[in-house]
Amino acid sequence: MLVSAKEMLTKAKAGHYGVGQFNINNLEWTKAILQTAQENNSPVILGVSEGAGKYMCGFKTVTEMTKAMIDELGITVPVALHLDHGTYEGAKKCIEAGFSSIMFDGSSLPIEENIAKTKELVATCNKLGLSLEAEVGAIGGEEDGVVGAGEFADPDECKKIADLGVTMLAAGIGNIHGKYPANWPGLNFDVLDQIQQRTGEMPLVLHGGTGIPDDMVKRAISLGVSKINVNTECQLVFAAATRKYIEEGKDEVGKGFDPRKLLAPGTQAIKDKVKEKMEMFGSIDKA
Ligand SMILES: [Zn+2]
């Protein structure tokens, strides 16, 4: 069964730890993350971008696959299936397809329009018992082809959006999607603290988790971040492990070309990475 992210994040905020959102791309990804969450007794959020949803043949396919997998694998830890950086239309599609959590990213819209659309989705999600993540101000880097520049959210705008009744709030504090440049100045904890002061109990979300040093992530968690998004890092370890398998010629030995063998090292690499993150976020045994 899929659950809303509200309870797991409320507990995380109160308990001063973080819950990871790990983005999925296919069956192997989903299985690896679900199994790791279960093995470590950790709550988990599966993130699905609109691009990944399309790749996996639509949101309905994703919902049905995930629900069936939870059932077949005997997963008992809380699992939220979450739309990552949704458009208004994408959010509606995911609600219809049975997602348990939605992110509406209106950060590129004028603040009044972001507020109006977020407000409407709050009402829908509340009625259906789904969690809703909103975003204020652009976060740097690349998100399905959209490039930003390490921007910061305005704490007053954060309060306006938080007051609409969203479940969790993504706010730029110098974080970037994808790989961080060598001259990146780091997260801005003053901005984070101001946002936290204005938004109170609202769990905050840290996007672009790949490449932020562990001590910065831990400090962000101590300052009110309860959800950390991890995407690129799993892609990098999956690619590296697959590359190693091929470069060592293992696909040419015996039945090494069997996709179940070919994809196994990459899948294991995702499991190891997810476990490492859960340990760092402090979510192990918090299911
Ligand atoms: Zn993001």
> pLDDT band for position 150 (50/70/90)?
low
Residue 193 is among the residues annotated as catalytic for this protein: no
The 10s digit of each residue's pLDDT in 18-35 is 999 999 999 999 999 999
Q: How many CB atoms lie within 10 A of CB 74?
A: 7
Beta bridge partners of residue 148, listed in sequence order: 141
Q: What is the distance in A from the centroid of ligand 1 to the CA of 251?
A: 35
Across the range 72-88, mean pLDDT stands at 97
* Cα distance from N-terminal residue to C-terminal residue, the chain: 14
d(CA 83, CA 27): 17
Across the range 69-90, mean pLDDT stands at 98
The domain defined by 6-234+271-281 folds into TIM Barrel (3.20.20)
The active-site residue out of 84, 144, 190, 272 is 84
Q: What is the distance in A from the centroid of ligand 1 to the CA of 211?
A: 14
> pLDDT band for position 218 (50/70/90)?
very high
Q: What is the distance in A from the centroid of ligand 1 to the CA of 77?
A: 24
In the chain, % of residues over pLDDT 90: 81
Residue 29 pLDDT? 97
Contacts of 245 (CB under 8 A, 6+ apart): 251, 256, 262, 265, 266
Residue 245 pLDDT? 98
For the chain, what are the domain ranges? 6-234+271-281
DSSP string over 124-186: HHHHHT-EEEEEESPPEEEETTEEE-S-B--HHHHHHHHTTT-SEEEE-BS-EESSPPTT---
Angle at 85 between CA 221 and CA 116, to 5 degrees: 100
Phi, psi for residue 233 in degrees, rounded to 5: -60, -40
d(CA 153, CA 259): 44
Residue 84 pLDDT? 97
Is 155 within 8 Å of 189 (Cβ atoms)?
no
Residue 174 pLDDT? 87
Structure-token pair, residue 109:
């819209």
Residue 141 has pLDDT above 70, yes or no: no
Across the range 191-197, mean pLDDT stands at 94
Question: Which tops the pLDDT comparison, 53 or 212?
Answer: 53
d(CA 107, CA 205): 14
Give me the helix-helix angle, 264-281 and 27-39, nearest 10°: 40
Q: What is the distance in A from the centroid of ligand 1 to the CA of 96?
A: 22
Residue 149 pLDDT? 42
Residue 147 has pLDDT above 70, yes or no: no
Taking alpha carbons only, the member of 243, 274, 256 closest to residue 32 is 274
Across the range 187-215, mean pLDDT stands at 92
